[in-house]
Structure 1
Amino acid sequence: MVFPDSVLHALAARPEHVAVEDGGHAVTGAELLSMIGTVARGLRSSGIGPGSAVAMDLDVSAESVAAYLAGYTLGCRVVGVHPGYSAPQRRHVLTRGVDTVLTGDRVAGLLRGPAADPVVLARPDDVARVAYTSGSTGLPKGCMQTYKALSAHWSWGAETWCADTVELARKTGRYLLFGTLSSAVVQDYLALCLLSGGTAVIPRLPAPGEGPLFPGVFERLRATATIMSVPRLYQMLDSLRDARFGLSTVAAIMVAGSPLPAHRLAEAVELLGPVVYSSYGLTETGGLTALTPTDIAHGVLASVGRPLPSVDADVRDGEIYVRTPYQMCGYFDEPELTAETLTPDGWVRTRDLGRLEGGYVYLTGRAREVIIVDALPVYAGPIERLLAAQEDVDQAYVVGAPDDRRGEAVHAFVVPRPGRRLDHAGLRQAVRAELGELSVPETVTELSEVPVAVSGKPDKAALLGLLRGRQTD
């Protein structure tokens, strides 16, 4: 069975069941199939088919879900366009071999055309998805996955599900779908919902002055599961400290995007209950590990989880290498970068430092986040983890900046725990005692919150901007 056959079969198996709930608009499995087929027919009539590149410049809606699945049904190269892109980033994505662009208005027009049933035209070796991730130049790089890869994917290939994935999918009866469908991770967790017969519930975003979406949205929409970034989880935990919210419907919250410190994971479980999952993966590889509530209950808090059954993991000179049947086949139109990341024998360099212990993966740093102090490498990850483990610290992030005296210097940005005061000298001494003089931050800057990048991860470029702005004052 070639992707996305499995999704179409799941929708056809429950034609009267509501597959997507978008505000007051309920779309059944049969209706979603018709929408997929109608969009695909309209695209086909304009010359779009297997191998064509379709850019999805869309928000999160039932129509957008249908558009993405229509592109896959036609065997297209589906390119997600992140709504937070700058003008140069949008131009970079939209001018690289794209045959057509789907906007909300364009999809609405296609849906007014003659109805049709979807027919899968996908070819296994064609590129199915180009998911863009951040690049060192500031322009995103496109990770390509084939239809064969997505057919074997840990979430899209239901026949490959392990017992833990089956259990997680069972909890997605009312899956809260938010963020952006341009994210491969958002698509991949939506798959668990659609393939298991759940309902994807799309929330109405709050208007200015209405307050945050989380955590009240769970009770309001009776949502049972979702995926969120670490910064989003922190915001929700802060809200839960200040007020009581009904979370009785929640069965699973998957946290992904960046490592979750052990003390914050413990706090999340204390406030939310045994519903927290954590995962590790890359846009280049898809999901690699999962840490389940059972693992957490057994005291495993510092790990990012066990490798999924189809994932091979190895540690070479302290760096994690992985191999999966659903990893990318390369970066779009960037052969040199592809060669730097994919080994000749098919392994992916994660550029994350870590270890394998007792069947679990532990991250210890980021190979790329190297600060050269006095001509010697210092890794940001260990400093961040040590600072975040201090009693008064909620979050900690480290960047390197040019320094006339040492080549580069370490600079730390910390968010204190509510009601706590930070001892900057004490934080620097803790780093000195544990990691040595080279790792001691030149400066420690307190923040009320950390800026977040388009990806949902902490924006270190913005932190550098804050640092440079302070240095020029």
Structure 2
Amino acid sequence: MTYVDLVLNRLATGQEREAVIGGDTRLTRGQARDLVFRLADGLARRGIGRGDGVAVFIGNTPEALLLTVAVHLLGARLVYVPPEPGQRELAALIEKAEVAAVVVDPGFSTRLTGWDLAELPGDPVERTPAPDFTTVSYTGGTTGLPKLAVHGPRSTSRWEALSHTPSLTMLCSTLITHGSGAGASVGALVTGSKLVLGPSVFDADVFVRLARDEQVNATFFVPPMMYEVLDHPDCPGPQFLSIGLGGSPLAPERLRQAVERWGPVVYQGYGMTEAMAIAFMPATAVDLAKPHTLRTVGKPNPEMEVEVRDGDVWVRGPHVMRGYWGEPPLSETSDGWLNTGDVGHFDEDGYLYLDDRSKDVIVTGRTSDNVYSRLLDDFLVTLPGIRQAAAVAAPDERWGEAVHLFVVVEDGHELDLHEVEQAVVAELGDLYAPRGVTVVPRLPLTQVGKVDKRRLRALLR
């Protein structure tokens, strides 16, 4: 049994209850189930069957979400096409993925051509879900070439356990083609929760409105999205029963603010495109009186093996990808182990801490030491007047790289670089001293809501 079986079974009950809402579309469970079968029929009529690749270039709409379920229903290979790459990289991604078809939602983007999602539905032909399928997701690499992580059906035990949890009203603000958005939206379908899809590009004003109008009591954020909501003049009060966080580093001070605002309902999940569900920090384990509980990403998932080797976090288990499309599987190249690219450590109680991304470490100083940019990001937002911050490497003739800060400050606050430097040195040492600072109205984000440090570094070249 896969999640597709659980979703269809759930949608077959209480068919008049609302299931998926997005924009002007509101679908009941019965309508959603009917549309899954109609979309699957439209794909099948066009020759799509088991193992065939279907690339989807879609945004956050009910039809798009149900399309992903329909692809898996047929046992096909679902290929998520992200919005970030340029035209040339998109073409390279599609070619490398070796797909039989591309489905596009012109309302989301016209940069790709293919089958129009609106014209795809056929007849509501009921089908028994295929027992196996694959999902292929783009992951940005340092080479500029697309890399495609391949996952099979995730362990059924997780979905079956989730199917017994209470129904909620879930607001999904991250893209459904991103790991966090896909997980949150599928989780809502499996639990029978009412799913409210936010726009494809996050908007804090829209989030606040939807949270109020739809009486939302659960959501999932990439941290920068949460910061915008916390700073919003109409930030919702303690109406939530569950708030998930993941997808990018989380500043402990902002986590503290979230718990103070919404109560003990905020949890963290640590995962990535290549390896999902690595570790979990439940809301009940976060203690504002114990600062270390605000910094850890929790303890490893019991289904996963997690090791720290020479500072790097390695993982193996059922939630790790099979490998990259077109390359040998991990089972052959590394006995199933994956280097996450994160730098981290365990404490004596078994909690995992992430110090930085390997690619974001700043190598500087007379002895070329490592500056962990995340430690600096987290500390800066504790200083008066600084709302968001990102430390990146700037080219430096003497040291190779130097610490440069991009910061968002409160209205009316004048930043004193000397005072910031003194505070940083006092807390983290001379190595972390910033050599430059740029005040910006907002930090650039990727389409999935992460701070785009690559773009920030490019501004300094």
Aligned to 2:317: 324
Aligned to 2:375: 382
Letter in 1 for 2:100: D
1:269 offset after TM fit, Å? Answer: 1.6
* Partners of 2:252 and 2:378 within 8 A in 1: no
Letter in 2 for 1:377: D
Q: Quote the Cα distance in structure 2 between the aligned partners of 1:260 and 1:342.
A: 34
Q: Quote the Cα distance in structure 2 between the aligned partners of 1:383 and 1:203.
A: 31
Letter in 2 for 1:410: V
Aligned to 1:367: 358
Aligned to 1:102: 103
Q: Quote the Cα distance in structure 2 between the aligned partners of 1:87 and 1:63.
A: 25
Letter in 1 for 2:363: I
SS in 2 for 1:90: helix
1:116 offset after TM fit, Å? Answer: 0.7
Aligned to 1:188: 183
**1:177 aligned residue (148, 158, 172):** 172
What aligned pairs does 1:276-355 form with structure 2 within 5 A after superposition? 276-297=266-287, 299=290, 300-335=293-328, 344-355=334-345
SS in 2 for 1:304: coil
* Partners of 2:52 and 2:100 within 8 A in 1: yes
Aligned to 1:118: 127
1:321 offset after TM fit, Å? Answer: 1.7
Q: Comparing 221-230 with 175-184, which one deviates more in the overlay?
A: 175-184
What aligned pairs does 1:435-450 form with structure 2 within 5 A after superposition? 435-450=428-443
Q: Quote the Cα distance in structure 2 between the aligned partners of 1:246 and 1:422.
A: 29
Q: Comparing 278-287 with 248-257, which one deviates more in the overlay?
A: 248-257
Q: Deviations over 1:109-160 (max 9, x none)?
A: 222x23211322243xx5x11111221133442111013xx24474xx224x
Q: Quote the Cα distance in structure 2 between the aligned partners of 1:12 and 1:280.
A: 33
* Partners of 1:4 and 1:151 within 8 A in 2: no
Q: Quote the Cα distance in structure 1 between the aligned partners of 2:157 and 2:227.
A: 29
Letter in 1 for 2:99: V
Q: Report how many residues are paired.
A: 445
1:205 offset after TM fit, Å? Answer: 8.0
Identity among equivalent pairs (%): 32
Aligned to 2:112: none
Q: Deviations over 1:423-460 (max 9, x none)?
A: 31232233334544443222122223211122311111
Aligned to 1:31: 31
TM-score, structure 2 as length reference:
0.87
* Partners of 2:201 and 2:447 within 8 A in 1: no
SS in 1 for 2:31: helix
Letter in 1 for 2:123: P
Quickly say closer, same or farther: Cα 1:23–1:392, change in 2 above 3 A: closer
The reply on whether 1:142 has 2:142 as its aligned counterpart is no
Quickly say closer, same or farther: Cα 1:436–1:297, change in 2 above 3 A: closer
The reply on whether 1:225 has 2:224 as its aligned counterpart is no
* Partners of 1:18 and 1:199 within 8 A in 2: yes
Q: Comparing 128-137 with 26-35, which one deviates more in the overlay?
A: 26-35
Quickly say closer, same or farther: Cα 1:253–1:139, change in 2 above 3 A: farther
Q: Quote the Cα distance in structure 2 between the aligned partners of 1:203 and 1:381.
A: 28
Aligned to 1:395: 388
Q: Comparing 85-94 with 254-263, which one deviates more in the overlay?
A: 85-94
1:56 offset after TM fit, Å? Answer: 0.9
The reply on whether 1:453 has 2:446 as its aligned counterpart is yes
The reply on whether 1:58 has 2:58 as its aligned counterpart is yes
TM-score, structure 1 as length reference:
0.85
Q: Which runs of 5+ in 2 are unaligned?
A: 106-114
Quickly say closer, same or farther: Cα 1:407–1:375, change in 2 above 3 A: farther
SS in 2 for 1:378: strand
Q: Which runs of 5+ in 1 are unaligned?
A: 469-473
Quickly say closer, same or farther: Cα 1:371–1:302, change in 2 above 3 A: closer
1:63 offset after TM fit, Å? Answer: 1.4
1:74 offset after TM fit, Å? Answer: 1.0
